[in-house]
Amino acid sequence: MRPVEISVILAVFNEEKYLPLCLSSLAQQRGVNYEVVVVDDGSYTKIFNFQFSIFKSKKFRFFRIKHGGTARARNFGAKRAQGKILVFIDGDMKFASDFLVKLTEPIREGKSKGTFSTEEYVANWENVWARCWNWENGLPDKRRIDQHRVDMVKDFRAILKSEFERIGGFADIGYTDTWTLAEKLGYYPTAVREADYWHYNPDNLNEVFRQAVWIGGRKRRFGWLGKLGALVRATLPVSLMVGVFKSLTHQELRFIWFKLIYDLGIFVGVVGSL
């Protein structure tokens, strides 16, 4: 039996509506010997019971831990990985059948120590709130990565396990924890152009609010000053003004509601981090 080349680390938290598609697309990967290490980061419901049971195979291993955030869950999974290459994904993604082959090719050929894919698409672009999410974050239509800024991407989607272990894994700082590998390593991942995958944006205002709270609580570049600036930008007058402007720009009046809910979440997240 060939040794495992790649360990896919999937940390999930209350993402049960997306998991069947995610796991099914992972089960259909071809061309490399891989495993999938799923870490349930203390979801409110025991999603193992009704989601994971249908994926019982030697390729899938499942763990449940006390909720501690994505960095801790990913580091937990990495410690149990058998492959020489680690791939980090989220539960609200789905993948082309050659995703792992394409993503890891430069690493397997010794040309890179870590990669990311430029081909990250919005899986639910038909949903108005998913579109608003892209517009809020300055992203191009239907994509999650700006093709003009690929040289600025810090997120490693795949990395040599030896490199990951050398720096002690992800730093536990909240929303931007995925950037910490590049900051510790001192280099950015290599861009891969043909590894297609799809990522679901928040598709309802409740989900928009919860995601914004998480984002709002992140570490800020200028510490207290950065948090103060974020609070000012999230105040009602500023939020309403920007919401009206962008709603006219994109010809979508519902963006105003999106912006108010999003900025309320940012405000709550920043205040909670003080």
| 110-166 confidence digits (pLDDT tens) | 999 999 999 999 999 999 999 999 999 999 999 999 998 988 899 999 999 999 999
Nearest one of 26, 29, 32, 30 to 2, comparing CA atoms: 32
pTM: 0.91
Domain 6-199 has CATH 3.90.550.10: yes
Instruction: Kindly state the greatest CA–CA separation across the chain.
Output: 63
Q: Do residues 197 and 122 make contact, with C-beta atoms less than 8 angstroms apart?
A: no
Residue 220, beta-bridge partner list: none
Report the DSSP pairing between strands 114-117 and 158-160: antiparallel
SS3 per-residue string spanning 85-108: EEEEEECCEEECCCHHHHHHHHHH
Least confident of 42-46, 207-211, 257-261: 42-46
Residue 222 is predicted with a pLDDT of 74
Domain assignments of the chain as residue spans, ordered by start: 6-199, 205-273
Report the DSSP pairing between strands 60-65 and 6-12: unpaired
For 19-76, what is each residue's pLDDT tens digit? 889 999 999 999 999 999 999 888 876 665 545 555 666 789 989 899 888 999 999 9
The pLDDT of residue 264 is above 70: yes
The pLDDT of residue 191 is above 70: yes
Mean pLDDT for 248-273 is 96
Reported confidence tier of residue 1, pLDDT bands at 50, 70, 90: low
Residue 52 is predicted with a pLDDT of 55
The pLDDT of residue 15 is above 90: no
Mean pLDDT of the chain: 92
